[in-house]
Amino acid sequence: MSAEARSSWYCLALGDGLLASVPLNDIEDAFRQLYPDAQAPPDTAVFSRHRLDGLQCQVTVFFSPALAELARSFHAHPCAKPGSHELELLVGSAQALQL
C-alpha cells in the first residue's frame, strides 16, 4: 500500500438521513469489535456529517487513515481530510482530526 493510501481519509455517502441509522450502527459495531474495551488509539475515529439537501438530510461518514481497512470493508473510498465544521464524532477519538 502506498504512503498516500495509508494517509488518506476515507468517506462513504450513506444517503438519506432517515435510512442512515442502520449503516451507522453497523459501522459503530464494527469499530467496537476492533476496540472492545473502549481503548481505541487517538488516531482512530469515524465522524459523520449531516447536510440538508433540499428536504432531505444527506449523511456522509469519514474514517480516519488509521481505519483504512475498516473503511474499505464498508466500500468507502479515499478522500481529502474533512474540515472539522459540521462533523460529529460517531465513534473513536476526536483527536484524530488533529493528528
Could you state, in chain order, the average pLDDT of each consecutive group of 10 residues for the chain (99 residues)?
66 93 97 90 96 86 98 97 92 92
Separation of alpha carbons 44 and 63, rounded Å? 8
The burial class, CB within 10 Å (0-12 / 13-18 / 19+), for 53 is: exposed
Chain centre distance of CA 2 = 21
With a CB cutoff of 8 Å and minimum separation 6, the contacts of 26 are: 74
- Report yes or no: 46 and 31 within 8 Å, Cβ to Cβ: yes
Q: What is residue 2's predicted lDDT score, i.e. its pLDDT?
A: 45
For the full predicted model, state whether its pTM sits above 0.85. Answer: yes
Q: What is residue 85's predicted lDDT score, i.e. its pLDDT?
A: 85
Q: Where are the domains of the chain?
A: 3-93
Q: What is residue 7's predicted lDDT score, i.e. its pLDDT?
A: 78
C-alpha grid cell for residue 48? 459523520
